[in-house]
Amino acid sequence: MQVVVTGMGMVTPLGVGVDETWRRVVAGHNAIGPIQRFDPTGFDVGFAAEVADPGWPSAFPVAGLPQALQPLAGDLKGRLAAWALAEALLAAGWDVAPGAADPRVGVCVGSEAARPPLSALHERLQDPRPPSAAEVLVHAPEAPTLLAAAMAGAGGPRSTISTACTSSSQAVGEGLLRIRRGEVDAMIVGGADVLVDPIMVTGFSLLGALSTRNDDPASASRPFDVDRDGFVLGEGAGFLVLESAERAARRGATPLALLSGFGCSCNAWRITDSPPDGRGAAQSMAAALLDAGLTAGDIGYVNAHGTSTQQNDASESAGIQRVFEGHRPAVSSTKGLMGHLVAACGAVEAILCALAVRDGIAPVNRNLDRPDPACDLDLVRGEARRGPIRHAMTNAFGFGGSNGTLILSRPGDPA
């Protein structure tokens, strides 16, 4: 059974919406700069890739949500998810009747627990009133999942995946599998994360995972470069509408891409490190190719996880070399442009692969001045590379050893 993408929506540090983000990705723009959300004085790292609060999407009125669920869009993470969801549903021509709960439509979202501002926590502690259920849930990992189900009128299976940086990649893959198994006809899938806060900046700094190029934030995220020194915190949301090809045809919906393959694995190695030989990454990529019925030579572009840490980039490169052997697809990591969106990165980068296939454009590796000899890949340098791409692969690898790989193809191609 073919599963197609009929709607896509995203909010990233590069812009609000698919078109704006993609335009800036193709141009190689940078979204990393000094932190504005809080005063980073005294922190080891004073920069990030932040998203400005876009508010509620006016094209999708909040009045359309059940009143009890409206507070789920009351924080920044909820509003980013709402924007991306609204764009995806509108692009798909999704028609939701008030109070609808279609049992043939499911939801799966990748999400981590939100972190309310310390000022909000202080105010809550001073308030003698017991919190409402919505006030408790708004910061829970499943808040975007509940929001997606309400906005889409989805009454089918609903689940939340929390596997760090692999969360939304695996959520998209889970949607693919549920449709193929015949459990549902459509799935709303994606992820959202908001990371730029004092706790997360401190935590990742203590792990030694963040770049400390405070004097030049724009050059801080440099995947596969020999001088890389850590990743840059980003944030955002990305959602896709997945449907069986038959359902999409019945609705008269235009497929934007074919979701042709999914693979996942666990390194069973260490919490923050990946095996130097890249075996977990290779297993995930090989599984996705097998699932799609493709060979390594069919892949024209790989959107790498490429976090800009010494260990991750070398391990992923080893994994790509193992899977592709003599084949050398174009490879880039868009984290050099917008930082690391963690739980949202898999879904956002899947959308970028759908666009790469649509337009025949492989995005550039920003800040790749001196490629690391250990990362011997066909890395896109200088500017985006143009040429036909029938199939694109995207990787996501998370703390704890979780790996996820998705393959996006041209609509109508066999898979």
Q: Is the pLDDT of residue 351 over 60?
A: yes
**Of 108, 264, 340, 353, which is the active-site residue?**
340
Fold of 263-409: Peroxisomal Thiolase; Chain A, domain 1 (3.40.47)
In this structure, are residues 18 and 236 in contact, taking their beta carbons and an 8 Å threshold?
Answer: no
Q: Return d(Cα 369, Cα 216) in angstroms, integer.
A: 15
Average pLDDT of the residues in 265-278: 77
H/E stretch holding 62 reads none
Report the half-sphere exposure of 89 (CA within 13 A, side-chain side).
25
DSSP string for 138-202: TTSTTHHHHHHHHHHTB-S-EEEE--GGGHHHHHHHHHHHHHHTTS-SEEEEEEEE---SHHHHH
Token digits for 288? 């996705």
Give me the CATH code for the 3-251 domain, please. Answer: 3.40.47.10
Q: Are 201 and 210 in contact (CB under 8 A)?
A: yes
Residue 165 annotated as catalytic: yes
pTM for this model (two decimals):
0.94
CATH 3.40.47.10 residue ranges for the chain: 3-251, 263-409
Do 3 and 176 form a contact (C-beta atoms < 8 A)? yes
Element at 39 (helix H, strand E) = none
Residues 140-178 have pLDDT tens digits of 888 999 999 999 999 999 999 999 899 999 999 999 999
Annotated catalytic residue, options 108, 305, 353, 391: 305
Choose the weakest-confidence range: 144-148, 189-193, 346-350, 351-355: 144-148
pLDDT confidence bin for 401, thresholds 50/70/90 = confident
At 291 the three-state DSSP class reads helix
What does the pLDDT read at residue 182? 97
User: What secondary structure letter does DSSP report for 212?
Assistant: -
CA distance 392 to 142: 29
Q: What's residue 122's pLDDT?
A: 46
Question: Does the pLDDT at position 392 exceed 80?
Answer: yes
Least trusted range by pLDDT, from 306-310, 321-325, 394-398, 411-415: 411-415
363 neighbors 337 (Cβ within 8 angstroms): yes
Catalytic member of 108, 165, 345, 375: 165
Q: How many Cα atoms within 13 Å fall on the side-chain side of residue 69?
A: 19
N-terminal to C-terminal alpha carbon distance within the chain: 9
Burial of 63 (0-12, 13-18, 19+ CB in 10 A): exposed
Q: What is the pLDDT of residue 269?
A: 72
Averaged over 246-252, what is the pLDDT?
97
Higher pLDDT, 224 or 326: 224
| Catalytic residue check, 353 | no
Crossing angle (nearest 10°) for helices 18-27 and 345-359: 70
Mean pLDDT of the chain, nearest integer:
91
| pLDDT at residue 72, as a whole number | 78
Question: In the predicted model, is pLDDT for residue 24 greater than 50?
Answer: yes
Asked about 122 being catalytic, the answer comes back as: no
The answer on pLDDT for 201 being more than 90 is yes
